[in-house]
């Protein structure tokens, strides 16, 4: 599993972040799902592969939404950094496994303090005084909803529904309904949607959309969302590092957290990192400027040396030209005679570059 997948999951796993995402995408920003109503599920299930028996499949994130002991829904998140045509099939494979799990009779176990435990499909394991008690049929079914979060900086350019992924004959379509991919392209979210997020996920969404639209100039952003206090500093910064390839944000955020001198916001982290970036850019610019200036000066110096040689020949001093080419000390005397600095005709780039590096 790549760094992007790992860091994204670590942020989404927090119940406050998970609930916030559901509330925005499903309920239009209303606070309906509470963090305390979410229960983590076993992410692994098994499917039957053609001619290969059982094969494991694992969701990225899945949580059960409950009210007391009432099962309301199962939510799943799948994260993608590149477009994948078969994502619609994979997603409905996860959903199918969850629905199938609801039809399996509940297991019975001896009565324990953990009687409300759940199995891998999200089913509550019924408590019983008799470990050999018969299995009871499952009573209440619940919906399963899976979102695919796409974190690419170029548009999703492949299937967004079953019909786009699978060549379904026209005659079949009255029997096989089309199924949409619940795709959320993070870098293309509407501003009105991003503003509804109250968790760190909204901070990432604003940062990432600015990066897509503005390129390097995203560093100048003063968006109010970036002024919000970050709740999960380490997880958010590692996610940003993974998607930008720039560890500077994480470095400064961790330093600020250790110092505990100020509230950590994305804007404060960006300004600290930007100050260093711009300083390095200015330093590099000055270095290049000095290097170009020296090259131009040496070019002029060489042209001047050639003119000195011409003058010496015209004066009948051709032997002095030959001696100057072979004897550096004599060349210095000739240059001094014509008022030229020896450094102006020095062509040793390496020595000067080494001085710059020091």
pLDDT, tens only, 235-282: 999 999 999 888 888 888 888 888 876 689 999 888 887 776 666 655
Residue range 90-114: average pLDDT?
73
Q: What is the mean pLDDT of the chain?
A: 80
For residue 5, pLDDT over 80 is answered with yes
The per-residue pLDDT for 72 is 92
**Phi, psi dihedrals of residue 13, rounded to the nearest 5°:** -65, -25
71-94 pLDDT, tens digit each? 899 999 999 999 999 999 999 999
Residue 43's pLDDT band, with cuts at 50, 70 and 90, is: low
Residue range 336-345: average pLDDT?
69
Angstrom distance (rounded) from CA 332 to CA 321: 12
Angstrom distance (rounded) from CA 324 to CA 326: 5
**Phi, psi dihedrals of residue 330, rounded to the nearest 5°:** -70, -35
Residue range 15-23: average pLDDT?
98
- Can you give the pTM of this predicted structure? 0.69
Neighbours of 52 (CB within 10 A): 7
Residue 357's pLDDT band, with cuts at 50, 70 and 90, is: very low
For residue 299, pLDDT over 50 is answered with yes
Q: Which residue has the higher pLDDT, 104 or 123?
A: 104
The per-residue pLDDT for 170 is 96
Residue 44 near residue 56, CB atoms below 8 Å: yes
Query: Picking from 29-43, 76-90, 168-182, 183-197, which range would have the lowest pLDDT averaged per residue?
Result: 29-43
């Amino acid at each position: 599993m790549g760094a992007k997948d790992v860091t994204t999951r670590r942020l989404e796993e927090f119940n406050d972040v998970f609930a916030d995402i559901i509330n925005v995408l499903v309920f239009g920003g209303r606070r309906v799902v509470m963090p305390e109503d979410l229960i983590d599920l076993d992410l692994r299930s098994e499917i039957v592969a053609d001619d290969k028996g059982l094969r494991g499949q694992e969701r990225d994130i899945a949580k059960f939404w409950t009210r007391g002991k009432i099962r309301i829904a199962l939510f799943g998140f799948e994260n993608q950094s590149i477009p994948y045509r078969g994502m619609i099939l994979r997603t409905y494979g996860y959903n199918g496994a969850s629905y199938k799990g609801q039809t399996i009779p509940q297991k019975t176990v001896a009565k324990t303090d953990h009687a409300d435990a759940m199995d891998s499909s999200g089913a509550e394991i019924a408590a019983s005084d008799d470990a050999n008690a018969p299995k009871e049929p499952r009573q209440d079914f619940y919906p399963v909803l899976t979102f695919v979060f796409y974190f690419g900086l170029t548009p999703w350019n492949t299937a967004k529904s079953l019909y786009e992924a699978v060549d379904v004959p026209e005659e079949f379509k009255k029997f096989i309904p089309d199924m949409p991919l619940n795709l959320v392209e993070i870098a293309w979210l509407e501003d009105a949607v991003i503003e509804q997020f109250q968790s760190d996920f909204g901070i990432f969404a604003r940062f990432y959309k600015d990066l897509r639209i503005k390129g390097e100039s995203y560093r100048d952003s003063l968006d109010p969302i970036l002024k919000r206090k970050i709740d999960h500093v380490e997880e958010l910064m590692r996610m940003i590092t993974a998607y930008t390839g720039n560890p500077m944000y994480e470095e400064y955020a961790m330093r600020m957290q250790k110092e505990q001198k100020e509230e950590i916001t994305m804007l404060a982290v960006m300004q600290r990192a930007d100050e260093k970036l711009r300083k390095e850019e200015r330093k590099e610019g000055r270095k290049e400027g000095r290097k170009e200036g020296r090259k131009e000066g040496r070019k002029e110096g060489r042209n001047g040396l050639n003119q000195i040689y011409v003058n010496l020949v015209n004066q009948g001093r051709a032997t002095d030209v030959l001696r100057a080419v072979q004897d550096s000390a004599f060349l210095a005397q000739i240059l001094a005679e014509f008022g030229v600095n020896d450094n102006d005709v020095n062509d040793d780039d390496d020595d000067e570059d080494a001085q710059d590096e020091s």
